[in-house]
Amino acid sequence: MKRTLFEEDHEHFRELATEFNVRELSPHYAKWDAEHQMPRSMWTAAGEAGLLGLAIPEEFGGMGIDDYRFRTVMDEEFVAAGHLGVALAFHLHDDLVLPYLLNYGSDELKAKWLPGMADGSIVTSCALTEPGCGSDLRGVRTKAVRDGDDWLVTGQKTFIGNGVTGDASVVLARTDGGTGRGNADSYSLFMVGKTEGYVPGNQLDKMGVRASDTAELFFDEVRVPGADLIGELGAGLRYVKEQLPQARLAIAVAASAVARASYNQALQYATDRHAFGDNLLQFQNTRFVLADLLTEVEVTEGYVDRAVLAFNDGELDEIEAAQVKLWASERAKSISDRALQIHGGYGYILEYPIAQSFLAARLLTIFGGTSEIMRESIGRSLGAGS
């Protein structure tokens, strides 16, 4: 069935993203993946191309685009080209950091951070997760203590994408002075710049999507100006909850793109590969597997496309976003696994695109809240209000 999500403007934007892939990424990406890090020049090139911070208002150097279909186009093109680390790094910057600044930040805070986020001179990360508490954010122990007009932030975060190369991070910290498990108003969000006391730990050695660096972050009485408090004091957990739809939708979009890429890779391999005198497509089992994969890919695309439109209309809530994230990420994992099987031994070789798709898909059922957390959130909502 014909896909109807995109219009002419989105396809023109797709051409821009494709050109960026060919010109700026393809010649270098294998090197970045091997080094587990992308250079700042990649970020500034993306800024020059207008691919960063699409939703940033023009007054702060952005394009003021609040149509999530443009972000969907970018993800699809980066994934199709095999530039999975770029897709992840931009997602962290645009979907996990930017919404907090746009929706809750003061004009002073926006003027300080948004222009650099748009032109690539400031790379950001989102530091919520800590060792030992995972998705349980009321267990966060990083604290912020007042010191005059400033705050002193102390604590440790883990699994932080862009953690090594980033210049600043949105940090969830406890501000009520309490210990033990926090309350709904115990935490606040800060935009913390990399300055004295802000130390990235060793880079974490991930299974896949290795071009996007991930690290622990350590904060030792990092001085944060009062103006870099995001929104209201004590509203951190509420803000995180309010931004869950975009964070989860972004992962669903990436998962749908990985599922499609995995199918395409399997179909191409089955068309080209010969065994026992025929190409693999002549074997009924191969055709049956590919038929299942194609059907699941298109069902997933249709579901995710509906979610994108709902988000654009302000109608995608956190539970609906959990549902689409759960479905798309689990389908990507399953589809990439079966697509890899079609490749046989070659599927296990990292230089083959399907191996990279498989490793990326495996992240998506964990990243941004595990599938188990999604099921728990959905399950708790059942019967609500009845």
Q: What is the DSSP string of 186-206?
A: SEEEEEEES-TTEEEEEEP--
Residues near 374 by beta carbon (within 8 Å), at least 6 away in sequence: 248, 322, 323, 325, 326
Tell whether pTM > 0.85. Answer: yes
Instruction: Write out pLDDT tens, residues 213-254.
Output: 999 999 999 999 999 999 999 999 999 999 999 999 999 999
d(CA 227, CA 109): 6
| pLDDT confidence of residue 384 | 62
Q: Which long-range contacts (CB under 8 A, 24 or more apart) does 373-377 make?
A: 373/135, 374/248, 374/322, 374/323, 374/325, 374/326, 375/326, 377/318, 377/319, 377/322
What separation in angstroms does the CA of 58 have from each of 45, 63, 230? Answer: 18, 5, 21
CB 328 within 8 A of CB 363: no
| pLDDT confidence of residue 380 | 94
Give pLDDT < 50 ranges for the chain: 386
| pLDDT confidence of residue 18 | 97
d(CA 216, CA 200): 6
Number of other CB atoms surrounding residue 203 within 10 Å:
16
Half-sphere exposure of 20 (CA within 13 A, CB side): 26
Strands 229-230 and 143-147: unpaired
| pLDDT confidence of residue 386 | 44
One DSSP character per residue, 276-327 reads: TTEEGGGSHHHHHHHHHHHHHHHHHHHHHHHHHHHHHTT---HHHHHHHHHH
| pLDDT confidence of residue 202 | 87
